[in-house]
Amino acid sequence: MKDDLEKMHPASRRKFLKLMGMALAAPAVPAALRFAANDMVGQAYAEESALNKATYLVELNLRDQWDHGHLFVAPGLATKGDLRRGERGRQAAIFYRPEELTKGSTGVYLTPESKLLAPHLDSIAMIDCCELSMGAIHGHESANALRSPGRDYKSGAGRMAMFKNDPVANFPAGCEAFYSSTPTPASLHNYVQKQMDPTLRNGIAFKGISRSIHTGYHFAAGLPSAELDRIQSRAALFEAFPESVEDLDVVPTAKEAEIFARILNRADPRFLRARRHPDKAVDGHIAAISEAQTLLHNGAKKIIRMPLSVEEEAYWKQGIPDGPKNVKAQIWEQMAWAYKLISNRLTASVALEFDYVDVHDERTPAQMATETKQAAISLCRMIEQLKKAGIYDRTLIAIYTTDGSRSPAAGSAGNEGKNTIILAGGMIKGGYYGDIRTAGNDGDGHKYVYHAPDPVTGVAGEGRTDDEGRVPGSAVWRTVMKALKIDDSVCAKFPDVASAKPLPYLLKA
């Protein structure tokens, strides 16, 4: 087998191994064949395949005080029968009683709007009690400590301007002059993936927020060729990724398909049984080889179009309320495009931006239901499609509330309350981590106590009524990078996250 590979030109060999890695990653390929091929090729050759280490990131940035209180309900509020519910002041904007909630497999509490996530709960995690936003205008912040730990109003000490590549109409009101030395997630992921695969196209940031006075900052911290391509409209997206035709042949020639089949043929039944594969898989693997050879090279084509077909639009849109009339693209459209981009490996890093309504002194049932449907249904559809494509285990979906989510009592001032992160992917250990509970009454509502999760176990820790003791943005950032298989040596180059540790309770072993 290695003789066949040695005879190839080095560039052809690298391409073949990359394509073979893609073939072996396909959901229909039996695990026994994966093990067999890897053993036949050898670890040294396997390391040449960029796809062995490739990961994908969809970063969704939600602006304007987004509240996920109806997506996963904090246990302390979900189980409190005498909760003072309402849309103003210190009332709790939880509009379902305990008996109306569904307790999922990981112990999370789902509302009727979010219960469709139940089949995927093992890989969806949420923390409300993260380090708060600090924008001067009731928390409005285009940066966020979870996306760029150490961001500050002051430059120097390695911090550079974050805002130059994402201008807005009324800078610096609501999109302030932040400086940082830590790259935002999609920018760093873009850099690392292109280092591994120089043929990979640059990642994108779809600037989908409806108002010209708001945006999200994407920041490469000076890393070469790491800045995302900013896409300002659907027309610009379609122009950047025009219709293309892709060969469905995993390998380009019948000769290479024959080599692949030869690899699999070397895995005889005795070898596979020694690896403790079930007899059924062993007996069937030889029959699968000729079929695999045909599938690897049969001349089939696929047309890739970014505009959604009627069928695609019906799937992604169903049940999701629209956002503002002047929104550049609805949340379901953006998620659909992100899926098309990464599942076709047009790029590996996609950052999205979306806003629903600028919430000030209220949380109405309609607002909560709309935000929950927009986030939960879009997330569910993305997970379903990534699983079908066989890349969910290598894809991280990171949903940020860039402005945090203060209580209605704060009105148009104050950055109290929540800053929520949602992580989903095959590498994520699902659950709601931490808690929000009440500590007596306050006017017509309550005093709220925020219990950040323990940094090792994830169990809700000591409660606090102030803004201290939250999960540090640096820990969330390192967790995202660990999930994306970005090496610690890369992360250690950035001073504000160098000593931080990932949160082990969020990651599957």
Kindly report the CATH number assigned to the domain that includes residue 67.
Answer: 3.40.720
Q: How wide is the angle at C-alpha 234 spanned by C-alphas 233 and 238, nearest 5°?
A: 120
Mean pLDDT of the chain: 86
H or E element in which residue 179 lies: strand 179-180
Q: Could you report the per-residue pLDDT of 82-132, keeping only the tens digit for each? A: 999 999 888 999 999 999 999 999 999 999 999 999 999 999 999 999 999
Residue 31's domain spans which residues? 2-52+245-302
DSSP per residue over 25-39, as a string?
HSTTS-HHHHHHHHH
From 263, 279, 302, the end of a domain falls on 302
Confidence of residue 276 (pLDDT cuts 50, 70, 90): very low
At 463 the three-state DSSP class reads strand
How far, CA to CA in Å, does 380 sit from each of 31, 317, 430? 27, 12, 14
From 264, 280, 302, the end of a domain falls on 302
Is the same domain home to 328 and 260?
Answer: no
Confidence of residue 272 (pLDDT cuts 50, 70, 90): very low
Per the listing, tokens 């306050």 go with 442
Mean pLDDT within 159-184: 95
Is the same domain home to 317 and 271?
Answer: no
What CA–CA distance (Å, rounded) separates 502 from 127?
14
Can you say whether residue 417 is alpha, beta or left, with left for phi > 0 and alpha for psi between -120 and 50 degrees? left
Q: Could you report the per-residue pLDDT of 182-224, keeping only the tens digit for each? A: 999 999 999 999 999 999 999 999 999 998 989 999 999 999 9
Is the same domain home to 283 and 422?
Answer: no
Is the same domain home to 502 and 486?
Answer: yes
Is the same domain home to 347 and 389?
Answer: yes
Is the same domain home to 91 and 127?
Answer: yes
Is the same domain home to 472 and 426?
Answer: yes
The larger pLDDT score, comparing residue 303 to residue 300, is at 303
Mean pLDDT within 266-279: 48
Mean pLDDT within 445-453: 94
Nearest by Cα to 92 from 444, 461, 470: 444
Q: Distance between alpha carbon 359 and the CA centroid of its chain, in Å?
A: 25
Nearest by Cα to 403 from 212, 129, 60, 137: 137
pTM: 0.85
Nearest by Cα to 506 from 463, 469, 468, 454: 454
Is the same domain home to 27 and 7?
Answer: yes
Mean pLDDT within 453-473: 94
- Token pair in block for residue 7: 């005879």
What CA–CA distance (Å, rounded) separates 507 from 476?
11
Is the same domain home to 156 and 172?
Answer: yes
Q: What is the pLDDT of residue 301?
A: 76
Q: Could you report the per-residue pLDDT of 358-405, keeping only the tens digit for each? A: 877 888 999 999 999 999 999 999 999 999 999 999 999 999 999 888
Q: What is the pLDDT of residue 408?
A: 73
* Phi, psi dihedral angles at 506 (to 5 degrees): -90, -10
Is the same domain home to 140 and 288?
Answer: no
Nearest by Cα to 450 from 68, 128, 80, 73: 128
From 258, 284, 302, the end of a domain falls on 302
For every residue of 47-106, which 3-state class applies, written as one string? CCCHHHCCCEEEEEEEECCCCCCCCCECHHHHCCCCCCECCCCCCECCCCCHHHCEECCC
List Cβ neighbours of 164 (8 Å cut-off, separation of 6 or more). Answer: none
Is the same domain home to 164 and 35?
Answer: no
Domains of the chain: total: 2
Contact 449, 436 (CB under 8 A): yes
How far, CA to CA in Å, does 270 sit from each of 29, 39, 267, 289, 423? 19, 14, 8, 17, 42
| Dihedral angle sign, alpha carbons of residues 498, 500, 503, 504 | positive
Is the same domain home to 276 and 225?
Answer: no
